[in-house]
């Protein structure tokens, strides 16, 4: 590879507080336009902001979970720019003394993991929403809804440590999972509660100086992020290969045309004229408060994954999948506590359950099969009452009909045939009926065994104990 891509991400995450960052208006989604508003978030002259304590706590939790150091004193600043959905004419943000700095996220898997450094985490307020289409006079007017104005955000800025779309995807996924574990952000990119911009440049492999970067916006899904990065990296390489120079600019991902498009630069006269916000005192987080915040944090994904491996003896892959959400991890642990078979629980949950949930587009919380039912199913198989193969069908019925495994087994008269006499009689009948295959087996074609196993399972409608069938077949055929 002649070129190396260098990527840094700026992620904005909406915090799940009940009220806005500087006023008492509700942050509830879906309210009629301009109803969650007050003099503060409408930017009335003289209205004064007061910081939401919970927003400070959630932001601090996120910063600590991302390995950052909290600044004991952080300062709010005004970022000035003109846009109709920013009623004050400035956004309250943080500038030269952010909430927290110097964190990291570990990406990759054990074999090849690496640290992506996080430069800073700061707090700020969201702007309102501009609606440019959909009204009769949309050709002449933009419509403004200020319900979102003042919603608390954290901005998480990485160092340019990412070198491919896959690494970037991994980094953002892990960040999303951490925020979800902390219950400080719902992580929904499509609805805009998690948003990301990417700074992208390319340079010759081995070069230490950074190339000229572009800033990509409108990356509102994981897929768009990956597609946009892939496109932009190859676009920049092509520009350089043709002897040109990359222009520093902001580019939008155009989903329909599947390419990044330059934003016209006339809107780009940005000089934010930051200065300390005189209406807010600095945020002071002393050691006692930081300890209190730390104590209220749940076990985080990396720690949980490591514990699943050591405590339950799970393979790394299983532990990774099961810890992708707190709800899924809790579901797994509840199942294990009821059946004591960690690997079996992992297999049923990762395999059949997740597949069915995906097929029916349900979350783990909406699963019709609960941990108790999976634990019972595992015990019925372990005790030999039904075979593993029958278990698969029982599970399907449990999922589709919301029934316990015992109910499904009773209703369908499923019972594993373990009686040696019965099995032997069935096997002898089948061998007699397939004399030709029997001859082939005797003349050395051992693969014919599989045929006989299939015939026996067919004859017993899958209820024969497969292990016994194998043993008996060998005994009879080799006799």
Partner 1 sequence: MIIGPKEVEYVGKLAQLAITEDEKQLFIGQLNSILEFVEQLNRLDTSNVEPTAHVVLAADQSAALRPDEPIMTFTQEQSLANGPETGAGHFKVPKVISDR
Question: Which residues are near partner 1 by CB under 8 A?
Answer: 17-19, 23-26, 28, 32-39, 42, 50-56, 73, 75, 80, 82-84, 97, 130-133, 135, 137-146, 269, 271, 273, 276, 278, 280-284, 289
**Nearest approach, Cβ of residue 35 and partner 1 (Å):** 5
Identity of the residue, 26 or 115, whose beta carbon is nearer to partner 1 in the bound complex: 26
Q: What is the DSSP string of 246-283?
A: PPP-EEEEETTTTEEEEPPGGGG------EE-TTSPPE
Identity of the residue, 34 or 467, whose beta carbon is nearer to partner 1 in the bound complex: 34
Length of the chain: 479
Identity of the residue, 130 or 265, whose beta carbon is nearer to partner 1 in the bound complex: 130
Residue 21 structure tokens: 């960052």
**Nearest approach, Cβ of residue 281 and partner 1 (Å):** 5
Residue 15 structure tokens: 């915090």
- Within 10 angstroms of residue 256's Cβ, the number of other Cβ atoms is 5
**Nearest approach, Cβ of residue 271 and partner 1 (Å):** 6
Distance CA 323, CA 177 (A): 9
Q: What is the DSSP string of 350-378?
A: IIIIHHHHHHTT--GGG-SS-HHHHHHHH
Identity of the residue, 82 or 242, whose beta carbon is nearer to partner 1 in the bound complex: 82
Identity of the residue, 95 or 222, whose beta carbon is nearer to partner 1 in the bound complex: 95
Residue 270 structure tokens: 């940005």
Are 240 and 234 in contact by the 8 Å Cβ rule? The answer is no
The angle formed by the CA atoms of residues 285, 287 and 289, to the nearest 5 degrees, is 60
Residue 146 structure tokens: 């200020």
Identity of the residue, 33 or 67, whose beta carbon is nearer to partner 1 in the bound complex: 33
**Nearest approach, Cβ of residue 326 and partner 1 (Å):** 22
Identity of the residue, 56 or 329, whose beta carbon is nearer to partner 1 in the bound complex: 56
Q: What is the DSSP string of 294-347?
A: HHTPPPPHHHHHHHHHHHH---HHHHHHHTSSHHHHHHHHHHHHHH--HHHHHH
Spacing of C-alpha 335 from chain mean position: 22
Residue 378 structure tokens: 């595992």
**Nearest approach, Cβ of residue 48 and partner 1 (Å):** 11
**Nearest approach, Cβ of residue 401 and partner 1 (Å):** 42
Identity of the residue, 21 or 394, whose beta carbon is nearer to partner 1 in the bound complex: 21
Instruction: Please give the backbone phi and psi of residue 268, each rounded to the nearest 5 degrees, phi first.
Output: -100, 15
Identity of the residue, 22 or 332, whose beta carbon is nearer to partner 1 in the bound complex: 22
Identity of the residue, 242 or 268, whose beta carbon is nearer to partner 1 in the bound complex: 268
Distance CA 447, CA 430 (A): 16
Between the alpha carbon of residue 364 and those of residues 184, 309, 331, the distances in Å are 19, 21, 8
**Nearest approach, Cβ of residue 38 and partner 1 (Å):** 4
**Nearest approach, Cβ of residue 77 and partner 1 (Å):** 8
**Nearest approach, Cβ of residue 398 and partner 1 (Å):** 41
Distance CA 148, CA 189 (A): 16
Beta bridge partners of 6: 201
**Nearest approach, Cβ of residue 264 and partner 1 (Å):** 9
Q: Is 412 helix (H, G, I), strand (E, B) or coil?
A: helix
């Amino acid at each position: 590879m002649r070129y190396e891509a260098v990527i840094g991400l700026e992620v904005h995450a909406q915090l799940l507080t009940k009220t806005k960052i500087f006023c008492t208006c509700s942050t509830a989604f879906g309210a009629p336009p301009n109803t969650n508003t007050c003099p503060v978030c409408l930017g009335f002259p003289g209205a004064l902001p007061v910081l939401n304590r919970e927003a400070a706590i959630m932001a601090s939790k996120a910063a600590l979970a991302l390995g950052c150091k909290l600044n004991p004193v952080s300062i709010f600043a005004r970022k000035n720019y003109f846009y109709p959905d920013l009623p004050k004419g400035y956004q309250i943000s943080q500038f030269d003394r952010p909430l927290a700095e110097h964190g990291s996220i570990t990406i990759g898997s054990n074999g090849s993991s690496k640290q992506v450094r996080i430069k800073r985490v700061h707090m700020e307020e969201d702007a309102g929403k501009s609606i440019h289409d959909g009204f009769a006079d949309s050709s002449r007017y933009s419509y403004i809804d200020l319900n979102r104005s003042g919603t608390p955000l954290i901005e998480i800025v990485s160092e340019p440590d990412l070198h491919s779309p896959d690494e970037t995807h991994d980094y953002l996924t892990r960040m999303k999972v951490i925020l979800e574990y902390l219950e400080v952000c719902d992580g929904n990119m499509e609805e805009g509660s998690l948003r990301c911009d990417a700074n992208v440049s390319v340079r010759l492999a081995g070069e230490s100086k950074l190339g000229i970067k572009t800033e990509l916006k409108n990356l509102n899904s994981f897929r768009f992020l990956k597609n946009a990065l892939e496109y932009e990296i190859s676009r920049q390489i092509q520009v350089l290969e043709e002897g040109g120079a990359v222009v520093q600019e902001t580019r939008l991902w155009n989903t329909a045309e599947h390419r990044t498009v330059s934003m016209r630069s006339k809107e780009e006269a940005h000089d934010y004229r930051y200065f300390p916000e005189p209406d807010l005192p600095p945020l002071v987080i002393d050691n006692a408060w930081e300890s209190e915040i730390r104590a209220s944090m749940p076990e985080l994904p990396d720690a949980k994954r490591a514990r699943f491996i050591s405590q339950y003896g799970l393979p790394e892959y299983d532990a990774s999948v099961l810890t992708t959400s707190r709800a899924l991890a809790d579901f797994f642990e509840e199942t294990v506590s009821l059946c004591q078979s960690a690997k079996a629980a992992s297999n049923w949950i990762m395999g059949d359950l997740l597949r069915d949930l995906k097929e029916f587009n349900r979350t783990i919380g909406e699963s019709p099969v609960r941990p108790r039912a999976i634990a019972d199913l595992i015990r019925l198989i372990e005790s030999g009452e039904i075979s593993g193969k029958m278990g698969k069908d029982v599970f399907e019925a449990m999922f589709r009909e919301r029934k316990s495994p015992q109910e499904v087994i009773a209703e369908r008269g499923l019972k594993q045939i373990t009686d040696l006499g019965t099995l032997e009689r069935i096997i002898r009948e089948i061998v007699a009926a397939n004399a030709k295959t029997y001859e082939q087996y005797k003349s050395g074609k051992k693969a014919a065994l599989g045929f006989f196993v299939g015939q026996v399972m067919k004859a017993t409608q899958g209820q024969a104990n497969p292990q016994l069938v194998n043993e008996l077949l060998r005994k009879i055929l080799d006799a």
